[in-house]
């Protein structure tokens, strides 16, 4: 693993680890993660656990840690860990209480529609998370609808990625409706979701303020590979 920005507090001989990266095969036991995050002497700003096979159990450990006052994590990446809907539920429960996390990456974790529902419920209460990545998480149109509903109430999220989730025209339409009411989202990536013309039209109507709707705050939008008639774009 790699560490950076370590500062030593000589009076009590405590080391403050500012960043931690654990690559494949460096951490296989959830017990280690539990013990590590439980240490009140460690003030971690960024944690990257890409492809460490922590599964739902690891998601629960991290979720519990995020609820603790001494954990002031700002960036968390759990890409490719297969935490599933159970792990997503644990992370979501923490997001309802946590006020320090600003960036969350849950790419390729198979959270499904159920996991998306839990994350969406958390977004309705959380106002400090700025960036959320749910790339390749199998959320489908139902999960996209739940996320869209949360965007109508969320007041903090700026950057959202839902790439490769096959949300379809239904999911695209739901997101379009949400964008009419959301005032904070400025970047949205919907690459490879098969939203087709119906989904694209709903989103573009929200952005352009068509039909008398309030114009969306969105600045950056990626609709690549969605089977959309190019005349609409």
Q: Give the Cα separation of 87 and 81 in Å (integer).
A: 10
CA-to-CA dists, residue 212 to 99, 218, 233, angstroms: 36, 17, 20
Q: Give the Cα separation of 45 and 65 in Å (integer).
A: 13
pLDDT, tens digit (0-9, with 9 covering 90-100), for 96-115: 999 999 999 999 999 999 99
Q: Please, which residues bridge with residue 16 across strands?
A: 7
Which DSSP category does 47 fall into? E
pLDDT of residue 18: 53
pTM: 0.89
Contact 144, 162 (CB under 8 A): yes
pLDDT of residue 228: 97
pLDDT of residue 40: 72
Q: From 179, 74, 174, select the one nearest 130 (Cα to Cα).
A: 74
Find the radius of gyration of the CA atoms of the chain.
Answer: 19
pLDDT of residue 27: 52
pLDDT of residue 33: 78
**222 Cβ contact list (under 8 Å, min separation 6):** 163, 188, 189, 190, 191
Residues of the chain with pLDDT under 70: 1-29, 41-42, 210-214
CA 14 to the chain's CA centroid = 32
pLDDT of residue 23: 56
Crossing angle, helix 84-95 and helix 55-66, to 10 degrees?
0
pLDDT of residue 16: 45
Q: Give the Cα separation of 57 and 24 in Å (integer).
A: 17
């Amino acid at each position: 693993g790699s560490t950076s920005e370590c500062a030593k507090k000589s009076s009590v001989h405590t080391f403050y680890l500012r960043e931690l990266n654990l690559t494949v095969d460096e951490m296989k036991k959830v017990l280690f993660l539990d013990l590590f995050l439980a240490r009140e002497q460690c003030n971690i700003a960024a944690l990257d656990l890409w492809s460490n096979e922590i599964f739902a159990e690891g998601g629960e450990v991290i979720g519990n840690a995020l609820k603790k006052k001494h954990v002031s994590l700002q960036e968390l990446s759990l890409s490719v860990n297969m935490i599933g809907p159970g792990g997503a539920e644990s992370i979501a429960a923490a997001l309802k209480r946590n006020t320090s996390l600003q960036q969350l990456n849950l790419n390729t974790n198979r959270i499904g529609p159920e996991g998306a529902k839990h994350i969406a419920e958390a977004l309705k209460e959380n106002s400090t998370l700025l960036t959320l990545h749910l790339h390749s998480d199998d959320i489908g149109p139902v999960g996209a609808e739940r996320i869209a509903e949360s965007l109508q109430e969320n007041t903090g999220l700026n950057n959202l990625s839902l790439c490769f989730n096959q949300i379809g025209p239904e999911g695209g339409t739901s997101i379009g409706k949400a964008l009419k009411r959301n005032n904070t989202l400025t970047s949205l990536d919907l690459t490879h979701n098969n939203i087709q013309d119906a989904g694209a039209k709903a989103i573009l109507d929200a952005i352009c303020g068509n039909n008398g709707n309030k114009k969306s705050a969105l600045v950056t939008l990626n609709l690549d590979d969605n089977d959309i008639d190019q005349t609409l774009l």
